[in-house]
Amino acid sequence: MKVQENISLKSFNTFGIDSIAKFFVAIKSVEGLKELLFLQSMRKETKLVLGGGSNILFTKNYNGLVIKNEIAGIETIKEDAEYIYVKVGAGVNWHSFVLHCIEHNWGGVENLALIPGTVGAAPIQNIGAYGVELKNVFFSLEAFEINEKVVHNFSLNDCAFGYRDSVFKNKFKNQFVILSTSFRLRKFPIFNIEYGAIQQELEKNAEKKLSVKTICQAVINIRKSKLPDPEIIGNAGSFFKNPEISSEEFEKLKVLFPTIVSYELANGNKKLAAGWLVEQCGPNAGVTWKGYRVGDAGCHEKQALVLVNHGNSNGKEIYNLSEAVLETVYQKFGITLEREVNIF
C-alpha cells in the first residue's frame, strides 16, 4: 500500500475533471484498508471512497484522502434449487460481473448491462435501468465502518433502497467502505422486457428465443446507440433524477403541457421523464438545453439529462450549468430536480 500525494484525479473520474487529491491510495484487500485507516498520519484526513468515478463531479480539489477501491474476486457462496448466491469484491467492474452472470446463464442483471463503475458503488444509489434495480438481485453486503473500524453486514432491509437511493446516500453518507456485495441470481431466469426500447431492439434480432444473453445484447446495443461513451466525451450519465409527483399535481401539469412524458408508479404517483423536462427548457426563449454548450460544459445532443465535458471544462462550470438547468425547469414546471451525481 502506497500513499501518494497531490495526485490528479482526471483519469479516475468519467467527467475527466482535473481535480487534485491531497492523498491517494488504491486498496486491494480488507487488510490493506485496515492498515491504511490505522495510520496515525491519515487519522484526521477527510476520506472519500472512489470506485470508477462514474457518478461523481469534482468541483474543487479534494483536500483529504481518496481511497480507490480495487478489491477483486467473484465467489459462489451457496445455491439452492432456484438461486445461486454470489459474493463479489467491491472493486470488480460492474459490467464484467454482468458478463460473468450471462456466461453462466444466471438471471437478474442482464438489464443492467454496460453501466459503468464498480460492484461496490452499485448499492450506493441502487443502480437501475430498463425496469430493474440492484435491490431486485441484492442479497447482502459487507462494509467497513471508517470511524469505528469494524466490518458490518447489511441485509436488504438495512440498506433502505429507494429510487437511485440507499442508506449510504443518507444516514450513513461517507461513513462506510463497501467491501463486497452478494447477489441472489436466478438459475432459471425470468425476463423483464417491459421497457419499449428493449422490445424494439429484440424485434430486430433474428434469434427470437429470449435469453439473458439476447436481452443483455439488446441493452448493450441501445446504450451504445444513445448514450455518450465517457472514453470519448466526459460525463457521469444522468445528472438529475426523474421526479415523482402526485397524480393531482400531474393532472394540473398535463393541462398546461399535454405532451408531458410520465409513467404511473405502484403507489399511484407519477414519475416524470426528467430528460423531457430539461429538453423543454433552455438558456433563452426558443433555445433548448439539449445540445447546448457553454465553453466546454454542455448538455448532450441526444439526451439532455446527461451533462458533458467537451474537453477542458472544470467541475465548477458543469455544476453552474446544472444550476441554470435546475432554475429553468423550476421556472417552467414548478418542479425542483434533484441531482443524481455526487458532488464533491
269 binds ligand NAP (CB under 6 A): no
Question: Which of residues 117, 123, 237, 243 is near ligand NAP by CB under 6 A?
Answer: 237
Residue nearest to ligand NAP according to CB distances in the complex: 237
Contacts (CB under 6 A) with ligand FAD, residues 147-186: 164, 176-178
What's the chain's length in residues? 344
Question: Count of CB atoms within 10 A of residue 222's CB?
Answer: 19
Task: Note whether 309 binds ligand FAD by CB under 6 A.
Answer: no
> Is 186 an active-site residue?
no
Residue choice 7, 36, 47, 69 for contact with ligand FAD (CB under 6 A): 69
Rounded to 5 degrees, what are φ and ψ at 67? -110, 105
Q: Is 130 in the site for ligand NAP (CB under 6 A)?
A: yes
Among 90, 216, 222, 337, binds ligand FAD (CB under 6 A): 90
Residue 79 appears among annotated catalytic residues: no
Report CA Rg, the chain.
21
Distance (Å, whole) CA 110 – CA 322:
31
Q: Residue holding cell 454496460?
A: 114
Own/partner pairs for 38-41, CB < 8 Å, 24+ apart?
A: 38/149, 39/3, 41/3
Segment lying near ligand NAP (by CB under 6 A), choices 10-18, 127-135, 177-185, 308-316: 127-135
Query: 324 to each of 274, 283, 294, 336, 343, how far by Cα in Å?
Result: 15, 8, 11, 12, 16
Check if the beta carbon of residue 76 is closer than 8 Å to that of residue 68.
no
Q: Kindly identify the residues of this chain, within the stretch 228-267, that bind ligand FAD according to CB under 6 A.
A: 230, 235-237
Task: Spell out the residues 6+ positions from residue 123 whose beta carbon is closer than 8 angstroms to its own.
Answer: 134, 138, 141, 159, 161, 166, 168, 178, 181
> Is 166 annotated in the active site?
no
Are 47 and 64 spatial neighbours (Cβ–Cβ below 8 Å)? Answer: yes
User: What letter would DSSP give residue 42?
Assistant: G
Q: Which is nearer to ligand FAD, 112 or 245 (CB)?
A: 112
Contact letters (x/-) for ligand NAP, 57-86, by CB under 6 A? ------------------------------
| Residue 53 interacts with, from ligand FAD, ligand NAP, none (CB under 5-8 Å by kind) | ligand FAD
Taking alpha carbons only, the member of 275, 304, 281, 323 closest to residue 57 is 323
Q: How far apart are CA 92 and CA 99, in angstroms?
A: 12
* Sole binder of ligand NAP in the list 75, 103, 148, 194 (CB under 6 A): 194
List of residues contacting ligand NAP (CB under 6 A): 128-130, 194-197, 226-227, 237-238, 242, 263, 273, 275, 303, 340
Interface positions with ligand FAD (CB under 6 A): 14, 48-56, 69, 90, 115-118, 120-122, 124-125, 127-129, 164, 176-178, 227, 230, 235-237, 342
Query: Annotated active-site positions, please?
Result: 164, 238, 340
